Amino acid sequence: MSDLGELLRKARDQRGLTLDDIQETTKIRKRYLEAIESGDHTVLPGPFYVRAFVKNYSEAVGLDPDEVLRLYQHEVPAAPVEQIADPIVVRSPRRVQSQSSERLGKIGFNVMMWSFLILIVVVIWVYVINKDPDGAKHADNNTDITDVSQPPATNNDGTAVGNENTPTDVPVSPTPTQAPTTVTFGSKVGKADQYEIGPKGVAHKVEVKISGGRSWLEVRSDSNKGEKLYSANAEDGSVETFDLTGPLYINVGRSDLTEITVDGVIVPDGDRAGSKKLLLHPVVDENSTTDGSTGTGSESGTNTGTGTNTSTGNETDQTKTE
């Protein structure tokens, strides 16, 4: 047994510890602890582990590890000295190219460039060949220079019948344009608003559209006492149309849900949540009223039933009489 091993064993016995206790404390295998006490360092993994195991063993039995290593340094191998080697600079190998390899590289590059140019020329040539340059010529050859002409038709007297290409001396009158529809407020006839619908001599179309809910709708000819054309609760989305050939009386329960138009021109109805009464009069030619009757419910013929009468025809006759 070595002096170091004897010292460690005595310190262990003084503390009443066994090798199993030291193994549990230091986590060093028991056979390594026995080798340290016997001085047989060949069993240990290496010099570094000898110093480490002796140091841990000394701490476990209450000895100063540094002092133990200093006193018994002749038994404990010294720690290996780290050798610092200078780094060897590795130079990159020089790129050696022979004249033959350079020549082959240039030849390969030239071959590749010429191949690319030849390929472009071939593609362009194929594209030009595939086009049909004679297509336009064939089309021109198949197209007649002129259509087959027919001799002009003649009348029985030998004169040529004119067509759309033959100039004539007859002036062409322009197609007259229809004047736009006008809706003009005339007067208040009782509870109804009277509107004059122009221009005269034109057939007008009255359209009543219900939108947003149900509304009462009553339509009569001439006046509120005239022939009933429509009388019912019109449903939402319903559209009723009437020909305005004479006076037309319209009574709606909800003017805010009703839109009245004449040839697309809106007739003002107040647009409020209440009833509205309208009397639409088409403008008529004054010369046709000399017989004493008008289409507006004159006093000599039809009473409008709204408290006010119009007497255009009678007044005209009376003037002529005077």
Domain termination site, one of 14, 45, 71:
71
| DSSP three-state, residue 215 | strand
pLDDT band of 170, cuts 50, 70, 90? low
Provide the pairing of β-strand 248-252 with 192-198: unpaired
**Are 4 and 76 within 8 A, CB to CB?**
yes
Question: Taken in order 34, 37, 38, 44, is the CA torsion positive or negative?
Answer: positive
Residue 318 covered by a domain: no
196 band by pLDDT with thresholds 50, 70 and 90: very high
For the ranges 68-77, 163-172, 260-269, the lowest mean pLDDT is seen at 163-172
Residue 312: per-residue pLDDT = 35
In a domain, 320, yes or no: no
- For residue 157, the model assigns a pLDDT of 60
Judged against a pLDDT cut of 60, whether residue 239 lies above it is answered with: yes
Average pLDDT, the chain: 74
User: What does the pLDDT read at residue 244?
Assistant: 87
Does residue 271 sit within a domain? yes
- Rounded CA-CA distance 230/240 in Å is 9
Q: Which tens digit of pLDDT belongs to each residue from 278-303?
A: 888 898 765 544 343 333 333 333 33
Q: Which residue has the tokens 């107040």?
A: 270
- Rounded CA-CA distance 28/26 in Å is 5
Confidence (pLDDT) at 9: 85
What pLDDT does 178 receive? Answer: 73
Strands 228-234 and 215-221, by their bridges, are antiparallel
Rounded Cα gap, residues 285 and 290, in angstroms: 10
The pLDDT assigned to 316 comes to: 34
Tell me if 136 is assigned to some domain: no
- Give yes or no for residue 161 having a pLDDT over 60: no
Is the distance from CB of 193 to CB of 267 less than 8 angstroms? no
- DSSP, collapsed to helix, strand or coil, labels residue 112 as helix
Region 117-128: mean pLDDT is 92
CATH number of the domain that residue 29 is part of? 1.10.260.40
On whether residue 117 sits in a domain, the answer given is no
* Average pLDDT of span 241-258: 90
Of 138 and 235, more confident: 235
pLDDT for the residue numbered 227: 93
Distances, alpha carbon 11 to alpha carbons 77, 134, 143, 203, in Å: 22, 119, 128, 136
Choose one of 71, 103, 126: the last residue of a domain: 71
Q: pLDDT grade, residue 78 (50/70/90)?
A: low
Nearest to 279 by CA among 311, 314, 303: 303
Confidence band of 242 (pLDDT split at 50, 70, 90): very high
Query: In whole angstroms, what separates CA 75 from the centre of its chain?
Result: 89
DSSP string, 9-20: HHHHHHTT--HH
**Per-residue model confidence as pLDDT tens digits over 197-207:** 988 878 889 89
The crossing angle, in degrees rounded to 10, of helices 3-14 and 30-38 is 120
Average pLDDT over every residue of 74-89: 56
Pick the closest to residue 278 from 221, 220, 194 (CA basis). 194
pLDDT at 256 over 70: yes
Average pLDDT over residues 102-126: 91
Determine which helix (DSSP H) or strand (DSSP E) holds 188, and give its type and residue range: strand 182-189
The number of distinct structural domains making up the chain is: 2
State the average pLDDT over residues 112-137: 82
User: Given a cut of 90, is residue 121 above it in pLDDT?
Assistant: yes
- Residue 50: is its pLDDT beyond 70? yes
> Could you tell me where the DSSP H helices lie in the chain?
3-14, 19-26, 30-38, 47-60, 65-71, 99-130, 135-142, 312-321
CA atoms of 267 and 247, how far apart (whole Å): 15
**What CATH number is attached to the domain comprising 263?**
2.60.40
270 is a domain residue: yes
* Candidate from 28-42, 249-263, 277-291 with smallest mean pLDDT: 277-291
The whole domain housing 44 covers: 3-71
Answer whether 13's CB lies under 8 Å from 50's CB: no
Looking at the predicted structure, is the pLDDT value of residue 187 above 80? yes
pTM over 0.75: no
Residue 22 lies in a domain: yes
Q: Return the closest-CA partner of residue 204 out of 259, 237, 241.
A: 241
135, part of any domain: no
**Which among 11, 41, 71 is the end of a domain?**
71
